Structure 1
Amino acid sequence: MTPADTGAFAQGTSEFMLSGLVPDIAREMHVSIPAAGSLTAAFAVGMLIGAPLMAMLSLRWSRRRALLAFLVTFLLVHVLGAVTTSYGILLATRVVAALANAGFLAVAVATATTMVGPNAKGRATSVLLGGVTIACVAGVPAGALLGQLWGWRSAFWAVAIASVPAVIAILRSVPAGAPDSAATSARRELRSLRSPRLLVTLLLGALVNGATFCTFTYLAPLLTTTTGIGSAWMPAMLALFGLGSFLGVTIGGRMADARPVPLLVTGGAALLIGWVVFAVAAGNQVAAIVLVLIQGTLSFAVGSTLISQVLYAATEAPTLAGAFATAAFNVGGATGPWLGGIAITAGLGYRSPLWVSALLVTLALATAGTAQGIRRRNTASRHEKPPTAAL
């Protein structure tokens, strides 16, 4: 693994691991399940705020210095999270960790996309996301297992320890270099947000990722209470979702550059159907297990493809494109768990996040269809000849 992949593994583990730790955190911190679930939303909010801010800050540093600063900060706040007895401090550490994560990813995405050809952004994105999906397959279930054996705090310690090899790898492998020469272009790159294509793609990414995190955040209580799967099987269930995410990113990497539209249309429709079927069949163990894998695959196939499409749409913002994608996806990462928590608090049960996920994907499909219709109408109007003046 590259230094970026190693760091992405530790950070991906931190971002996703709370889905297996929510019940234990709620119990020890004496808060509700939705309140514990909001720790995931807090991380997403930090990513949302931090992505553009940290990306612009990093332009003043060499890539080596930026990667080290963000990763060391990430490590230290996990140590604080592991020892605190205050829910408020734990919540704050999630925001700070997300700020550091956002900065790290912004630098890593900019680096990855400059190392490939202009028509291989999907492939570069899938390689970078490999560390995150490995975290889903191995790191997140391991965190859940540690939580069962030694309590949820041990998972935070594990993330801090897992960050150390990444720090060493950056020190050894990334040259000191000079600050990014694109620093003066930040204002110009921000103006690229006026592009309708970019804005629509960012919105689609937020909706799809919101659907993913809405269910994934409450996956453990859903499977233990509604499906009836024992808590001892949660690491295996999380690993299954992680396997799906790896398959999805792999599929996205192969298709995103050459055939993104068929993947997004077919995958989006299948994702909607999957959430509806999951909501209806959540009480069936076999169906739930199969759908955990399928939805993980579809969510990351569609999601990673949308990330690459953001990079293609933000051609005028080569440095901040990754930050735009990170911010948009974490709008969904914050909104999804929040909406799921509202549904649960309203007494709709642990199935309700599945229905919310289905609604968010429906909105994504409707948005894409509307945008496509407007684009076609505008294209047709531009090709119409003006009427001949009457004699």
Structure 2
Amino acid sequence: MSLKLLSLMLCVFGITTGEFVIAGILPDVAGDLDVSIPAAGLLVTAYAIGMILGGPVMTALTARYPRKPLIVALLAVVVVGNLASALAPVYSVLFVARVVTALVTATFFANAIVIAASTAPEGKQASTVSKLVFGMNLSMMLGAPIGTFIGNHFGWRATFGTITVVCLVGLLLVLPLVPAVESATSGGSAVAELRVFRDRSVQLAILITAVANMGLLMVFTYFAPLLTDVTGFAEGAVAVLLLVYGVGAAVGNFTGGWLSDRALMPSQIGLLGLLTAGLVVMWAVSGSTVASAVMVFVIGALGFSVIPGMQTRVLTTASSAPTLAIAVNASAYQIAAALAGWIGGRIIDGPGLRPVYLAAAAVTVLGILLSCYAWYRDRATAGTGMEGQTTETSPA
């Protein structure tokens, strides 16, 4: 693997760890800043909203700028945002710092993938991009557990301080190692780029990504209190369980990609069905530490198994604006995170923590229904197109 790719992977790893680690240190943040767990959970929502708004708009507005200076500037904002999070004296400052960091995150990911793909050897673009995206899996397997361990032993501020250092190192490596790459868009305006969102197929792909992932993200947002307060794990065990979840996510990511290459929509529907069942099982066995530990791996694997197929569908439907395709997918995923944090908090304030599992399963069922509709729509469109082709060629 080239040093260029490793430097970009380190940046992805650091940025994504900053997003995911909040699930493991949520109780510490809430206690130190004297806010409730649902209020602390809104930090996840704030980050998600920042990515939702910042991703498509900033990616479109910066599509014609040279990639390397752009990602350096974006990384600088990430470093400052995580440092401000570490030093935040009150909840409101931390909230704003998370939003500012999130505004540039999706745009960085989109441009980093453009750089990786455009500088890869001929015929190896896809494998190069997959290695870059693996930095996100590493943040699940290593970043979030290590960040949680640091938070539990040295305080949550030390977690964000460590993330700041990782992102700064990534920035310093990008400067000499990443080559200059021109913008991916040679013409057209930002408004023209954003018109891709008017396409009905793109809208449906975004909706599926948001709804189908919302249940899993609802559980993940409140992962720490679910495992400690409901199942009875010690606080120190959360970091280990996040590692188990991350390993499952990596396994599911590769398996789901393999299945999606062979049957995109059928595999997506089937995997979402298994995820729904897994969430119900997690609710049923939540009183057992052994069974819950096993299900943490299973839920991680099933939850991430659907992501490659959803990415493929978004990239396909948004092919008229490929620069925005990745940002579209990230925004859809963050829509799910934003709603998941809010809905989960309302459930906790009402019936309590444990029903979050059942609510997550119910939302995932909606994702299955939308996927079935999209598959039916695709088949109907294909059939209409085939009939039209037959009609045109039959006179000949």
Q: Does residue 165 in structure 1 map to residue 169 in structure 2?
A: yes
The percentage of counterpart residues that share the same residue type is 30
Could you say which residue in structure 2 is the equivalent of 1:327? Answer: 331
CA contact (8 A) 1:42 1:94 kept: yes
Shift in Å, 1:238: 0.7
| Stretch moving more, 151-160 or 255-264 | 255-264
Shift in Å, 1:128: 3.0
Counterpart CA distance in 2 for 1:183 and 1:40 is 36
Aligned pairs, how many?
385
| Stretch moving more, 174-183 or 300-309 | 174-183
> Compared with structure 1, are the counterparts of its residues 309 and 118 closer, same or farther at alpha carbon in structure 2 (3 Å cutoff)?
farther
Q: Where in structure 2 are the equivalents of 1:1-391 lying within 5 Å?
A: 2-114=6-118, 126-182=130-186, 184-346=188-350, 348-377=351-380, 383=387
CA contact (8 A) 1:55 1:106 kept: yes
Counterpart CA distance in 2 for 1:366 and 1:306 is 15
> Compared with structure 1, are the counterparts of its residues 337 and 26 closer, same or farther at alpha carbon in structure 2 (3 Å cutoff)?
same
Shift in Å, 1:158: 0.5
TM-score, normalising length: structure 1: 0.91
Letter in 1 for 2:173: A
> Compared with structure 1, are the counterparts of its residues 381 and 250 closer, same or farther at alpha carbon in structure 2 (3 Å cutoff)?
closer
Unaligned 5+ segments in structure 1 are 387-391
CA contact (8 A) 1:206 1:328 kept: yes
TM-score, normalising length: structure 2: 0.90
Counterpart CA distance in 1 for 2:98 and 2:107 is 14
Counterpart CA distance in 2 for 1:381 and 1:208 is 28
Counterpart CA distance in 2 for 1:10 and 1:316 is 31
Shift in Å, 1:136: 0.8
Letter in 2 for 1:361: T
Counterpart CA distance in 2 for 1:183 and 1:92 is 35
Question: RMSD of the TM alignment (CA)?
Answer: 2.4
> Compared with structure 1, are the counterparts of its residues 357 and 128 closer, same or farther at alpha carbon in structure 2 (3 Å cutoff)?
farther
Shift in Å, 1:183: 5.0
> Compared with structure 1, are the counterparts of its residues 45 and 223 closer, same or farther at alpha carbon in structure 2 (3 Å cutoff)?
same
SS in 2 for 1:315: coil
| Stretch moving more, 152-161 or 366-375 | 366-375
SS in 2 for 1:282: coil
Shift in Å, 1:215: 0.4
SS in 2 for 1:350: coil
Shift in Å, 1:345: 1.1
Shift in Å, 1:121: 8.4
| Stretch moving more, 217-226 or 107-116 | 107-116
CA contact (8 A) 1:126 1:250 kept: no
Letter in 2 for 1:147: G
Shift in Å, 1:127: 2.8
